[in-house]
A = this chain, B = another copy of it.
Amino acid sequence: MATKRSVNTLVGNMVIAQSGGPTAVINQSLVGAILEAKKHPEIRKIYGSLHGLKGLLEERLCDLRKETPANLELVARTPSAALGSVRKKPTPEECAQIFQVLQKYDIRYFFYIGGNDSAETTHIINEEARKAGFPIRCFHICKTIDNDLRENDHTPGYGSAAKFVAQAFMGDNLDNRSLPGVKINVVMGRHAGFLTAASALARVWPDDGPHLIYLPERPFSMEKFVLDVQEVYAKYGRCVVAVSEGIADEHGEPIASKFIKETDSHGNVQLSGSGALGDLLAREVKEKAKISRVRADTFGYLQRSFVGVVSEVDAREARQVGVMAIRFATRGDVTSGSTAIRRAPGRAYKISIECVELSKVAKETRHMPDEFIAPSGHDVTQAFLEYVRPIVGELPKIGRLKMVPVPKKD
């Protein structure tokens, strides 16, 4: 429940914008909101703001009623923010400037699709509007591939990114099985390990990788890591590792930044690309574990914007949060809030979308709960797999030869 208010109807225009890192299904939410808004007569014009708040500050708006339904459906299936995105936290001065623009265009409904930072932005605008007595309804529409929004069982965008990661690991495990060695894959997720954890879905046979999964929720020790790899390598003659880009030592210092500092002091090399962490880990295994074939890949932006790998459940839910944001905003009992996906208890997968207070979603993020992380600290649990499977949906079926051995001849 967000800010309560008597049920009444606010007539005016709406603006919608996208913010933060794109996802494969963020445009489903946009299109869901546009199509639903058209059903509500109290919403007059439907404006899109280009590149989030930037578009409002620069008065770069587009008329979303001019989009054809067929084109909207095509956009819905297209990854990455169709309106353009931004990473921007508004100052009180910028809020005042934004209110002038909102006033000028008679905008009374503000929708912001994004993650926790975007929820904070929505919260700031809502608070500043209240202080200024500016009548506007502010709603945040949840999305993030990191799956780290509080109040949500999971977030739109995560399922598709998780599917990409799972399919990538399925293939990479097969690759590693074919040409054995140690393979390290760095997965997105600065603070939450959900996306890295989804690599576990790649396992079909008991000896399949990823054999080791390192999450930011557990302190990372380089010594332990090398020993873990050696142990798996001794068992299978190969090892596939999933590593979150956000892994940090026991003091919370990210391994990636430790490395960058180290290299700076040694050789003044400014490593800024994301390949550095994977390369560092590969080098450590090569040198310390004396394994010759060690490779590292960093999945990078492909995880959030690859065309053609989408979880159907994720796409549907992303559409639905867009629809529900409009319904919450026009219902009139609350003047602000954030859409949150809740899962019904029980074995069957069933969700509902609720309206929660902006402050409850803004800024801070959530982490993988303990029951999802194996006691070893480098794997996930069955509970996590049961949690994540319905969000990702069916994965492609793969096969393995029976390989009936031919008895050796003398």
Contacts and interface: CB of A to CB of B under 8 A. Distances in A.
A254 to B, nearest CB: 16
B21 A179 contact: yes
A275 B263 contact: no
A157 interface: no
Given A80-B178, A297-B274, A307-B398, A62 B282 contact: no
B22 A174 contact: yes
Residue among A68, A271, A276, A278 with the highest chain B CB neighbour number at 10 A: A271
A296 B274 contact: yes
Contacts of A174: 22, 78-80, 305, 307
Given A267-B267, A401-B48, A175 B406 contact: no
Interface in A248-288: 263, 266-276, 278-279, 282-283, 286
A75 B309 contact: no
A302 interface: yes
Nearest to A27: B399
Contact of A22 (B175, B183, B286, B304): B175
Interface in A47-80: 47-48, 50, 59-64, 66-68, 71-80
Given A175-B80, A175-B301, A276 B275 contact: yes
Interface of A: 18, 21-22, 24, 47-48, 50, 59-64, 66-68, 71-87, 104-105, 167-168, 170-172, 174-175, 177-179, 183, 263, 266-276, 278-279, 282-283, 286, 294-302, 304-309, 395-406, 408-409
